[in-house]
Amino acid sequence: MAGEEKKRPANEKASIKPVSEEVVPERSYIPLAEATPTPRYLYLLRPASVTTEVGIIGIPPGTRLALLEEREEGFRVSNGKAEFIIGRDVITFNHKEATAAYEAYVETQKQVQAEIRQKLEEAHKAEMERRLKMKGMTD
């Protein structure tokens, strides 16, 4: 019957294939001839912004990028949503380096957020004091 799923006998098990772990080279830069087989992946070391047809997207460090093509000016890569050219100085083939870059980025973002939160609290407090003074003048 159309649209019906074929039922598996109770004694038949679903086949589950294990996901293999990606082997990451120890060196930061590896010539493409020595890099992992297609598809090749590399990782972003610093935040990047990419201009697309619909706007600008931010890509954090540690992001895995699919290597599409080596070019003189760098690599043509994809993050799964956009294709763009990235310079050799902001990428690595080393997953550990990428993880460290991401963790440092997250820590920096936390510090920036804490500073912003503190400044907002100080501004709010100053505004409340100003309003109380104004209210005291009108009473």
The answer to whether residue 68 sits within a structural domain is yes
Q: What is the CATH number of the domain that holds 65?
A: 2.30.30
The answer to whether residue 133 sits within a structural domain is no
The answer to whether residue 62 sits within a structural domain is yes
* Tally of CB atoms within 10 A around 43: 23
Q: Which amino acid is at 104?
A: A
The answer to whether residue 127 sits within a structural domain is no
Q: Record the tokens describing residue 41, joined without a space.
A: 């992946």
- Provide the domain limits for residue 73: 32-114
Residues 72-110: tens digit of each pLDDT:
889 999 998 889 999 999 999 999 999 999 999 999 999
Q: Exposure pattern of 62-81 as b/e (b: 16+ CB <10 Å)?
A: bbebbbeeeeeebbbbebee
What does the angle CA 90 – CA 87 – CA 22 come to, to the nearest 5 degrees? 60
The answer to whether residue 44 sits within a structural domain is yes
The count of domains in the chain is: 1
pTM of the predicted protein model: 0.58
The answer to whether residue 12 sits within a structural domain is no
The answer to whether residue 9 sits within a structural domain is no
